[in-house]
Amino acid sequence: MLRVVCPGSFDPVTNGHLDVISRAARLYDEVIVAVLRNLNKSTLFTVEERVEMLLEVTKTQANVRVERFDGLIVDFCMANDVSAIVKGLRAVSDFDYEMQMAQMNYNQAGVETLFMTTNPLYAFLSSSLVKEFARYGGDVTGLVPPAVLRTLTERLGAG
Ligand code: PNS
Protein backbone atom coordinates (compact mmCIF):
# COMPACT_ATOMS: atom_id res chain seq x y z
CA MET A 1 0.00 0.00 0.00
CA LEU A 2 1.58 3.26 -1.13
CA ARG A 3 0.43 6.03 1.16
CA VAL A 4 1.65 9.60 0.70
CA VAL A 5 1.03 12.82 2.57
CA CYS A 6 0.30 16.33 1.26
CA PRO A 7 1.09 18.62 4.20
CA GLY A 8 0.29 22.30 4.52
CA SER A 9 -1.50 25.01 6.40
CA PHE A 10 -4.38 25.21 3.89
CA ASP A 11 -5.60 28.61 5.11
CA PRO A 12 -7.69 28.09 3.00
CA VAL A 13 -7.31 25.25 0.48
CA THR A 14 -7.06 26.62 -3.08
CA ASN A 15 -7.62 25.05 -6.50
CA GLY A 16 -3.83 24.76 -6.75
CA HIS A 17 -3.71 22.55 -3.64
CA LEU A 18 -6.67 20.56 -4.86
CA ASP A 19 -5.00 19.95 -8.21
CA VAL A 20 -1.91 18.46 -6.53
CA ILE A 21 -4.01 16.39 -4.09
CA SER A 22 -6.18 14.95 -6.90
CA ARG A 23 -3.21 14.12 -9.10
CA ALA A 24 -1.44 12.43 -6.18
CA ALA A 25 -4.63 10.45 -5.48
CA ARG A 26 -4.52 9.06 -9.02
CA LEU A 27 -0.92 7.89 -8.54
CA TYR A 28 -0.98 6.44 -5.03
CA ASP A 29 -3.24 4.13 -3.04
CA GLU A 30 -3.94 6.69 -0.35
CA VAL A 31 -3.30 10.40 0.15
CA ILE A 32 -3.42 11.95 3.59
CA VAL A 33 -3.89 15.69 3.54
CA ALA A 34 -2.15 16.74 6.77
CA VAL A 35 -3.19 20.11 8.12
CA LEU A 36 -0.70 21.84 10.40
CA ARG A 37 -2.51 22.88 13.55
CA ASN A 38 -0.03 25.13 15.32
CA LEU A 39 1.37 27.65 12.91
CA ASN A 40 3.83 30.37 13.84
CA LYS A 41 1.80 32.69 11.69
CA SER A 42 -1.78 33.52 12.65
CA THR A 43 -4.45 32.04 10.43
CA LEU A 44 -7.75 33.35 9.10
CA PHE A 45 -9.38 29.97 9.73
CA THR A 46 -9.11 27.68 12.74
CA VAL A 47 -7.72 24.21 12.17
CA GLU A 48 -11.27 22.82 12.49
CA GLU A 49 -12.47 25.16 9.73
CA ARG A 50 -9.50 24.35 7.49
CA VAL A 51 -10.11 20.61 7.96
CA GLU A 52 -13.85 21.01 7.35
CA MET A 53 -13.25 22.81 4.04
CA LEU A 54 -10.78 20.13 2.95
CA LEU A 55 -13.23 17.36 3.86
CA GLU A 56 -15.91 19.05 1.78
CA VAL A 57 -13.76 19.60 -1.31
CA THR A 58 -12.20 16.12 -1.29
CA LYS A 59 -15.36 14.19 -0.40
CA THR A 60 -15.70 12.58 -3.84
CA GLN A 61 -12.17 11.16 -3.69
CA ALA A 62 -12.40 7.90 -1.77
CA ASN A 63 -8.66 7.48 -1.24
CA VAL A 64 -8.09 10.96 0.22
CA ARG A 65 -8.08 11.33 4.02
CA VAL A 66 -7.80 14.59 5.93
CA GLU A 67 -5.94 14.70 9.26
CA ARG A 68 -4.46 17.41 11.43
CA PHE A 69 -0.98 17.35 12.87
CA ASP A 70 1.30 19.17 15.29
CA GLY A 71 5.06 19.15 15.39
CA LEU A 72 7.25 17.63 12.71
CA ILE A 73 5.86 16.23 9.48
CA VAL A 74 8.42 13.41 9.59
CA ASP A 75 6.98 12.25 12.94
CA PHE A 76 3.52 12.25 11.37
CA CYS A 77 4.90 10.20 8.45
CA MET A 78 6.46 7.61 10.71
CA ALA A 79 3.37 7.33 12.90
CA ASN A 80 1.11 6.85 9.86
CA ASP A 81 3.23 4.53 7.72
CA VAL A 82 3.61 7.16 5.01
CA SER A 83 6.00 6.42 2.13
CA ALA A 84 6.64 9.97 0.97
CA ILE A 85 5.68 13.63 1.21
CA VAL A 86 4.20 15.06 -2.00
CA LYS A 87 4.60 18.80 -2.58
CA GLY A 88 3.56 21.06 -5.42
CA LEU A 89 6.25 23.29 -6.93
CA ARG A 90 4.88 26.45 -8.48
CA ALA A 91 7.99 28.30 -9.56
CA VAL A 92 11.73 28.50 -9.07
CA SER A 93 11.06 30.75 -6.09
CA ASP A 94 9.54 27.76 -4.25
CA PHE A 95 12.48 25.58 -4.98
CA ASP A 96 15.17 26.69 -2.50
CA TYR A 97 13.06 26.37 0.63
CA GLU A 98 11.30 23.21 -0.52
CA MET A 99 14.65 21.60 -1.36
CA GLN A 100 16.00 22.54 2.06
CA MET A 101 12.98 21.05 3.85
CA ALA A 102 13.12 17.90 1.71
CA GLN A 103 16.79 17.36 2.48
CA MET A 104 16.31 18.05 6.18
CA ASN A 105 13.43 15.58 6.35
CA TYR A 106 15.48 12.94 4.55
CA ASN A 107 18.54 13.61 6.69
CA GLN A 108 16.60 13.43 9.95
CA ALA A 109 14.23 10.59 9.28
CA GLY A 110 14.86 9.09 5.83
CA VAL A 111 11.49 10.44 4.66
CA GLU A 112 11.40 11.07 0.91
CA THR A 113 9.81 14.12 -0.74
CA LEU A 114 8.36 13.99 -4.26
CA PHE A 115 7.75 17.24 -6.13
CA MET A 116 4.89 17.70 -8.55
CA THR A 117 4.96 20.66 -10.91
CA THR A 118 1.75 22.60 -10.49
CA ASN A 119 -0.71 23.12 -13.26
CA PRO A 120 0.38 26.39 -14.96
CA LEU A 121 -3.18 27.64 -14.47
CA TYR A 122 -2.40 27.86 -10.77
CA ALA A 123 1.30 28.70 -10.83
CA PHE A 124 0.73 32.16 -9.33
CA LEU A 125 -1.79 31.04 -6.75
CA SER A 126 -1.30 31.11 -2.98
CA SER A 127 -3.65 31.12 0.00
CA SER A 128 -2.16 34.45 1.10
CA LEU A 129 -2.93 36.20 -2.19
CA VAL A 130 -6.42 34.72 -2.26
CA LYS A 131 -7.08 36.13 1.23
CA GLU A 132 -5.62 39.51 0.35
CA PHE A 133 -7.67 39.89 -2.82
CA ALA A 134 -10.84 38.60 -1.18
CA ARG A 135 -10.37 40.95 1.80
CA TYR A 136 -10.26 44.01 -0.46
CA GLY A 137 -13.11 43.01 -2.72
CA GLY A 138 -11.19 41.14 -5.44
CA ASP A 139 -12.94 38.30 -7.26
CA VAL A 140 -11.34 34.97 -6.39
CA THR A 141 -13.98 32.83 -8.09
CA GLY A 142 -12.15 30.10 -9.99
CA LEU A 143 -9.16 30.21 -7.66
CA VAL A 144 -10.78 28.35 -4.78
CA PRO A 145 -13.50 25.68 -4.76
CA PRO A 146 -17.09 27.05 -4.46
CA ALA A 147 -17.47 25.86 -0.84
CA VAL A 148 -14.29 27.71 0.13
CA LEU A 149 -15.43 30.83 -1.72
CA ARG A 150 -18.64 30.82 0.35
CA THR A 151 -16.80 30.40 3.65
CA LEU A 152 -14.24 33.04 2.71
CA THR A 153 -16.93 35.54 1.71
CA GLU A 154 -18.83 34.88 4.95
CA ARG A 155 -15.72 35.29 7.09
CA LEU A 156 -14.43 38.43 5.44
CA GLY A 157 -17.91 39.89 5.12
CA ALA A 158 -18.52 39.24 8.80
CA GLY A 159 -15.09 40.64 9.73
O1 PNS B 1 1.19 25.45 3.33
P2 PNS B 1 2.53 25.74 3.94
O3 PNS B 1 2.37 26.68 5.08
O4 PNS B 1 3.54 26.19 2.93
O5 PNS B 1 3.05 24.35 4.52
C6 PNS B 1 4.30 24.24 5.15
C7 PNS B 1 4.37 22.91 5.91
C8 PNS B 1 3.25 22.82 6.93
C9 PNS B 1 4.27 21.76 4.96
C10 PNS B 1 5.76 22.87 6.61
O11 PNS B 1 5.97 24.06 7.30
C12 PNS B 1 5.87 21.72 7.58
O13 PNS B 1 6.05 20.58 7.18
N14 PNS B 1 5.75 22.03 8.89
C15 PNS B 1 5.73 21.06 9.95
C16 PNS B 1 6.91 21.27 10.88
C17 PNS B 1 8.15 20.60 10.31
O18 PNS B 1 8.20 19.41 10.07
N19 PNS B 1 9.18 21.44 10.08
C20 PNS B 1 10.43 21.02 9.53
C21 PNS B 1 10.41 21.03 8.02
S22 PNS B 1 12.02 20.58 7.41
Nearest by Cα to 49 from 37, 58, 40: 37
Query: Do 31 and 4 contact (CB within 8 A), yes or no?
Result: yes
Which of these is catalytic: 50, 87, 127, 131?
127
DSSP state of 38: S
Higher pLDDT, 8 or 157: 8
pTM: 0.96
pLDDT of residue 159 exceeding 70: no
Alpha helices in 3-139 (DSSP H): 15-27, 47-57, 73-79, 92-109, 127-135
The pLDDT value recorded for residue 36 is 97
Question: What percentage of the chain has pLDDT greater than the value 90?
Answer: 91
Amino acid at position 97, single letter: Y
Q: What is the pLDDT of residues 118-131, one digit of tens each?
A: 999 999 999 999 99
Which of 6-10, 30-34, 89-93, 113-117 shows the lowest per-residue confidence on average (mean pLDDT)?
89-93
* CA atoms of 58 and 34, how far apart (whole Å): 13
Residue ID of nearest Cα to ligand 1 atom 2: 8
- The ligand 1 atom at the shortest distance from the C-alpha of residue 41 is 3
Q: What is the mean pLDDT of residues 94-100?
A: 95
For all residues of the chain together, what is the average pLDDT? Answer: 95
Q: Encode burial over 119-148: b for 16+ CB neighbours within 10 A, e otherwise.
A: eeebeebebeebbeebeeeeebeebbbebb
Higher pLDDT, 139 or 159: 139
Residue ID of nearest Cα to ligand 1 atom 10: 8
The pLDDT value recorded for residue 157 is 75
Q: What is the pLDDT of residues 22-66, one digit of tens each?
A: 999 999 999 999 999 976 779 999 999 999 999 999 999 999 999
